[in-house]
Each structure stands twice: as C-alpha cells, then as structure tokens.
A = this chain, B = another copy of it.
Amino acid sequence: MSADSHAEITITAFESSPDRGRGLARDMPVRWALEEAGRPYAVRLVSFETMKQPAHCALQPFAQIPTFEEGDLALFESGAIVFHIAERYTGLLPTDANARARAIAWMFAALNTVEPPIANRVIAMFVEGDKSWAEERLAIVDQRIRDRLGDLSARLGDADWLDGAFSAGDLLMVSVIRRLSASGLLDEYPNLTAYVARGEARPAFQRAFAAQLAVFTASTEQSGGKG
C-alpha cells in the first residue's frame, strides 16, 4: 500500500485503523503536512502485532505509529515529524523569526495543553467505559475540555487562523480538536467549529483524508466488509 512507490519518504500507518477511516489516527497530521508541502510519500501499513515487534520498536520506541523514514533519517512522534516537514519545506512555518517561534508555540500548545484532556475523553469513554464511575468521570473530563476550548475560542476570536497565515500550529490544533467532532462539545464554540471546517476544507487535508480512508476501505473489502 503506497501513495507513491517511488517516493523517498516512507511513513507507517495502521493496517486497520480503530477510527474506521475518520482520519483520527496520528498518521493523519503527518499525511496532511506532507500534502501541504507537496511531498510524495509511501506508506507501510503495520498491524497491532507488527507494531510490537523489534523491527518497528527500533523505529518507534513506544510501539506506535506513525514513523518517518527518508534516506538515513528515521523519526517518530507525529509532532516532531510535522515539525521536520515544516522546517524542511515551505508553507507550514512563517519565515519571520518571531512569527515562526509563535507558530511553533501553537504546535506545542496543541499537543501538550489542548490534546491531553481530549485524549482523556477517549480513555474515559472507551478504555474505562465499563467502570461504574465512567459517566461521572466523563463529565469531569468534559469540563476540562471546555476550559481549554473556551480559552482557545477566546484567543482565536474571528480570525481565520491562530496567528496570521495557516501554519503547522493550525495543522496540529485542527487535528487535535477535530477529534471532538462527534462529541457535540465543539458545537458550543461556533468559531472553533468554523476553524476546524476551514482546516478540513484545505485541498491538502482532503488529499490526506482520502488517502487514509482508502486504506480503511481496502482493509474492509479484504475482510469481506467486516473489517
């Protein structure tokens, strides 16, 4: 499975993504960044079993996806891979030094301030969903998410992007908060809903989304529609 078998860049992605093609796995921001940068890439699909094998763990110490390989460079961690792409190619970071530093601040804010409560929602719902206290805890987690979204909404205001032109900071922030689309939480913040929609409308996002969806569709066809 590859987007371009002659590509110099190879990433890894789930053979069968648990999100069923909704583009919520962490290969999605990497695909999106590569599309924004106009770089072709190949994809090596890994199963949950393959991910735990030494060959994959040599690339990804925490047995996760995605990884990034290009020549003699091997990288892991989606934020770092997006940053590497943003630094190496044009279109994802401003050239002005201060604006660039601020865009990078939004990258870290997306992953280290906004994402943690959102990731905890997945844990509260699915990993701990069978606990007697699941419902009570989900309400607590949702309030923490609202705290972050409220601050983010206030800062964004009626701007299109977080700080001037679209940047890798927006790419990661949209990637993080669109995980809430099915929850209804985003609906409380119309400017954030519009922000996510602007991100998803970008041609590069669309191409990345279609590519990851094609993997899921192929995996369900192979398993007779039961994937």
Contacts of A131 on B, CB cut-off 8 Å? 133, 136-137
A115 to B62, CA, bound (A): 13
A33 to B92, CA, bound (A): 26
Contacts of A128 on B, CB cut-off 8 Å? 137, 140
Is A91 an interface residue when CB atoms closer than 8 A count as contact?
no
A98 to B84, CA, bound (A): 10
Number of interface residues of A (CB under 8 A): 45
Contacts of A97 on B, CB cut-off 8 Å? 73
Per-residue 0/1 for A133-158: is the Cβ within 8 Å of any B Cβ (1 yes, 0 no)? 10011001000000010011011000
Is A109 an interface residue when CB atoms closer than 8 A count as contact?
yes
Copies of the chain in the assembly: 2
- Given A98-B73, A140-B128, CB of A61 within 8 Å of CB of B108: no
Interface residue from B61, B76, B119, B151 paired with A154 (Cβ < 8 Å): B61
Is A34 an interface residue when CB atoms closer than 8 A count as contact?
no
B75→A113 contact, CB < 8 A: no
Per-residue 0/1 for A78-98: is the Cβ within 8 Å of any B Cβ (1 yes, 0 no)? 111101100000000000011
Is A107 an interface residue when CB atoms closer than 8 A count as contact?
yes
A195 to B128, CA, bound (A): 33
- Given A84-B104, A132-B133, A133-B131, CB of A109 within 8 Å of CB of B76: yes
A57 to B155, CA, bound (A): 9
Contacts of A115 on B, CB cut-off 8 Å? 112
Contacts of A84 on B, CB cut-off 8 Å? 101, 104
Q: A78 → chain B, closest Cβ, in Å?
A: 8
Is A111 an interface residue when CB atoms closer than 8 A count as contact?
yes
- Given A116-B119, A131-B133, CB of A80 within 8 Å of CB of B64: no
Contacts of A78 on B, CB cut-off 8 Å? 108, 112
Interface residues of A (CB under 8 A from B): 57, 61-64, 72-73, 75-81, 83-84, 97-98, 101-102, 104-109, 111-113, 115-116, 119-120, 128, 131-133, 136-137, 140, 148, 151-152, 154-155
